[in-house]
Amino acid sequence: MKQKKVLVIHGPNLNMLGLREPEIYGRVTFAELNNQLKELAKELELELEIFHSNHEGALIDKIQEAMPDIDGILINPGGLAHTSVALKDALSILEKHVVEVHISNIHSREEFRHFSYVAGVADAVLVGFGIDSYLLGLEGLARLLQKS
């Protein structure tokens, strides 16, 4: 059986993990997070591609480019979760499993963060588990892919 392929998308400012507001986002660096995701993907027997951009259009281009080759997306859209209808639309065209993750609990922060456009097209949303939001999200996505 062919290995399922997952695209991990990191949105704006996530490349600054470990430096950016460590009281909210923790001290794990972007590189450390990606290494943890790669290790977990091996355990789950998933093929993993990781992509980051601080630019909305680049994220949308990557989703469209990846459409024929991937089985699902794990995405932390960062602040674009709360502002980008275009990112939501790109994910809805995808017609693949999508899991949205956020390191912090967006519902306990500023009011503008309480709503996510991406959540409306995601199969699941995990928030507030720190870096583990990504790992739990990848495990959940693997289970969704096994069922489909």
pTM for the full predicted model: 0.95
Total residue length of the chain? 148
SS3 call for 8: strand
For the chain (148 residues), the mean pLDDT of every run of 10, in chain order, is 93 96 92 98 98 98 96 97 96 96 87 87 97 98 95
Give helix 85-94 / helix 56-66 axis angle, nearest 10°. Answer: 10
Residue among 44, 40, 42, 35 nearest 17 (CA): 35
d(CA 24, CA 147): 34
Q: Report, as residue numbers or ranges, the catalytic residues.
A: 25, 102
Beta-sheet strands, E only, within the chain:
4-10, 46-52, 72-76, 97-102, 124-127
pLDDT at 114: 80
Fold of 4-30+41-78+86-129+137-147: Rossmann fold (3.40.50)
For residue 82 the two structure tokens come to: 């709360």
Within 13 Å of residue 11, how many CA atoms lie on the same side as its CB? 23
* Model pLDDT, residue 139: 98
31 burial level (CB within 10 Å; 0-12, 13-18, 19+): exposed
Return the sign of the alpha-carbon dihedral for residues 81, 89, 144, 37: negative
In contact, 135 and 40? CB cutoff 8 Å: yes
Q: Domain limits of the chain?
A: 4-30+41-78+86-129+137-147
pLDDT of residue 38: 98
